[in-house]
Amino acid sequence: MPALRAEQFAGEELLLVPDALLLPGGPVKDHAVHVAGGVFREIGPARRLIDAHHRLTPVRLDRSLLMPGFVDAHHHLTQSFGKAQAFGQPSEIFKTVWEPLERALDEESAYLAAKLAALEALRGGFTTVADAGTRAPVDVAVLAQATQEAGIRCVLGRVCSDGTGGERHLARWDGTRLVHPSLAIPVPEDAADDKVLRHTARLCAEAGAVFQVHVNEHLVSVERSLRSVGRRPVEHLHHVGALGPHTLGAHATLLTPGELRLLADSGAAVGYNPVASAWKGNGVAQAGTMAALGVRFGIGTDGTRGDGFRLVDAAETAQRLAFGLQNGDAVCGAGRLWLEHATAGGADALGLGRVTGEIAAGKAADFLVVDLGVPELTPSWDLGWELVRLAGRDQIRAVVVGGRLRLWDGWPPHWDGPALVRRAAEAGRETVRRAGIRRVDPLPSGT
């Protein structure tokens, strides 16, 4: 790649001319984008835009793709110190790993955990993350501070299981440029009562915010719901009036045909977390069926690893292994389906469809510059498929959020990323020690 420089992205107004541009209809050549005031102002044929904006020096992105940033539709920012603690554990580990870990955090360590997660997400090509709410005994303002300093867009959840604080949280962050408030109840039966579920969902609907809740994450959670409220999680949300277009149900594996119908009819969205299914679940969400039924869904990491290209690969692979092999479906939606739901579909699921997720006039300039001049993509025949199965985060040259350069060749250009990593390493070890995490370490078969 020619000597592209970070300084070329420094202006308030940019005219970018990539080799390829990933638009909602697919990749195109010979196009340019005009960015001003943090948003895409115009997209069109390169020659026309260069002539129209002759006062701007075009930034030529030869052998590069300009694409929307990935949207992580389900994350736990304050769990970053304990990712590897989940390896090899039984499926429902929130009581043995996540709750002790998060409750051992103070404001400083919660801030470091969240900023570390945000940095990892940016390195993986994510320009937006949705935090599903922390159980850490801290003001979520420390998470907002961490993500704003990192420069990533954040849907900031606040747990409202007791029915309090929701209105204040939604008002507190209303209008903030990179922080979008959200309310969360970890699982439906976690609410103090059905009125709390309904009230929390209604507050989100009225505010245009997303109501985040884990549903059907694994068999244990489904059975726990049946024991406690007599219904499966999605059925219970519908029963109490908390299932609607404002609802984001994370995981949504093990769905019955009736539950799929409820999701489709209600307009609710799903956070499909394929890596979490492999690491700590026992089911894969029927994302291909959801797409066919018109169920809205985004793709999330669940805090497993912040790598957008590996995430879309896992999304397609999980569908093929869990469902496609059974019926001879060699396509499973093709690469374009997974790219769409990792970008625009994810933004829509988070209630941010008017804000981000695609390269379109009027939307936030949240995008990646990806090096195409690599052996893995040479020669290129079908860029959509190739991005899903062959691309890697090492190809990401630049990450831009709201028109500002947030990452250059893997590191932030305006703050000290390596210093954060060093601080987080020390704080993370101390937090895990203090948490007293109880792991199950079974010996592999045959030992």
Give me the residue label for tokens 């999701």. Answer: 263
What's the distance, Cα to Cα, between the start and end of the chain in Å? 50
pLDDT of residue 132: 97
Instruction: Enter the tokens of residue 298.
Output: 């985004």
Place 445 in a pLDDT band, splitting at 50, 70 and 90. low
Do 191 and 291 reside in the same domain of the chain? yes
Q: How many CA atoms lie within 13 A of 394 on its CB side?
A: 5
214/400 Cα distance (integer angstroms): 30
**Mean pLDDT computed over every residue of the chain:** 94
Q: What is the CATH number of the domain that holds 367?
A: 2.30.40.10
Give the whole-number percent of the chain exceeding pLDDT 90. 84
Asked if residue 433 is part of any domain, the answer here is: no
162/164 Cα distance (integer angstroms): 6
Domain span holding position 379: 6-69+360-408
Do 368 and 314 reside in the same domain of the chain? no
Sign of CA dihedral 122, 124, 130, 134: negative
Helices (H), 85-140: 99-103, 107-123
What integer is the mean pLDDT of 139-163?
A: 97
pLDDT of residue 446: 63
Place 255 in a pLDDT band, splitting at 50, 70 and 90. very high
Q: For the chain, how many residues are written?
A: 447
Asked if residue 97 is part of any domain, the answer here is: yes
Determine contact, residues 210/250, Cβ cutoff 8 Å.
no
Asked if residue 201 is part of any domain, the answer here is: yes
Do 298 and 285 reside in the same domain of the chain? yes
Do 263 and 394 reside in the same domain of the chain? no
Place 447 in a pLDDT band, splitting at 50, 70 and 90. low
pLDDT of residue 438: 81
Per residue in 75-118, pLDDT (tens digit) is 999 999 998 888 888 777 877 888 889 999 999 999 999 999 99
Query: Is the model's pLDDT at 343 over the cut of 70?
Result: yes
Q: What is the 3-state secondary structure (H, E, C) of 321-336?
A: HHHHHHHCCCCCCHHH
Asked if residue 251 is part of any domain, the answer here is: yes
What integer is the mean pLDDT of 366-372?
A: 97
Do 65 and 107 reside in the same domain of the chain? no
415/108 Cα distance (integer angstroms): 18
* Last residue in a domain, options 307, 324, 349: 349
Asked if residue 445 is part of any domain, the answer here is: no
What integer is the mean pLDDT of 375-391?
A: 95
Do 134 and 78 reside in the same domain of the chain? yes
Place 330 in a pLDDT band, splitting at 50, 70 and 90. confident
Q: How many CB atoms lie within 10 A of CB 446?
A: 4
332/336 Cα distance (integer angstroms): 10
Could you list the beta-strand ranges (E) of 252-323. 269-272, 296-299
Per the rule left: phi > 0, alpha: psi between -120 and 50, beta: everything else, 101 is: alpha
Q: What is the CATH number of the domain that holds 119?
A: 3.20.20.140
Do 147 and 23 reside in the same domain of the chain? no
Give the whole-number percent of the chain exceeding pLDDT 70. 98
Do 364 and 288 reside in the same domain of the chain? no
Burial of 8 (0-12, 13-18, 19+ CB in 10 A): middle
33/46 Cα distance (integer angstroms): 8
Q: Any residues with CB less than 8 A from the CB of 223 and at least 6 apart, and which? A: none
Do 189 and 284 reside in the same domain of the chain? yes
Do 52 and 147 reside in the same domain of the chain? no
Place 189 in a pLDDT band, splitting at 50, 70 and 90. confident
Do 84 and 214 reside in the same domain of the chain? yes
Please compute Rg for the chain using Cα positions. Answer: 21
What integer is the mean pLDDT of 386-408?
A: 97
Place 357 in a pLDDT band, splitting at 50, 70 and 90. very high
Do 12 and 160 reside in the same domain of the chain? no
Number of domains in the chain: 2
292/282 Cα distance (integer angstroms): 23
